Chain A
């Protein structure tokens, strides 16, 4: 049994990455995820890896491009404004089919916004913030241990699909300390990398590029990207149904808000209200089927987000009107308390009677 360590989410993610074989980290300081870079700065050299603080998030993402193209496991991390700067690079990384992991500890926006927790980058992360048809796979942990597991998974998914994978958290997930253990996956994914740039010795030269001026060729690439993403949608949907089997009302929430919803559910259950939670873990691919099936049986779904309503649109897409979708949010870095959620559910319960 690997021993448990008491770590903050940010540092747990960094350690998980190193144990998953990450050997390059390029990043830039930005609250609330500074600890990831700080941790990597002394940890990566211990394993012969490379830590480099770049001149900007723009440079960071292209250093990731270079290192991924050279065949190593590579990660960067930032927070909302920095992730916005990386969008072009992420589009290039997806287009060049380069595996990498990008951690976004969201903070309140828009603009410089605040540093408190937020979920207002959901659209940017899941609908693709850069140009062109592509998607990152997006995984949203709600505990430090889950952040560890999902970070390790992210490196395997990045190699498996040759695609960028995002760990989407916030200041809570990053700063909160919880016991974690690092179990390396039974059979780590070994990727074939004959396409990497290592010097054209005894082989034709490899070219990692994304410019395809001939639309016939570019269409083929776009369609291939589409097919790859459909594979991911088929195989990589992850969610947690929590006390949902007998629920009349289901809360939809992920990350920090899902933790709070679980507390609210405990209280509501004590008050005799049968409430459950459907928690997306993969935000892309989104668990549409799970919500569709839930909507068959449940009259009301309450979506709770720390944004003006982004995931709620995907819930509505999945539910297709089969049950009523309610929405509650706190924004600007304000985090909903469990009693606010309890009150919202009670209001819905009254309407349903």
Chain B
């Protein structure tokens, strides 16, 4: 289980993350952000995001924070 948080101060709506997401969970938001872009947004009602981070890899603006479920008892890597 995972999720991503897209920081709208940095996202320029370039859609590269949307193109990279293997689960197709990202889409361009209808609304316009403070920085006058249509930012990407995560739409994951069924919780399919695995926190794989491919979206963050291709993001030109380091706008995406990736989260993964903390495995109980696993040592900090």
A contacting B, Cβ–Cβ less than 8 Å: no
Q: What is B's interface to A at a CB cutoff of 8 Å?
A: none
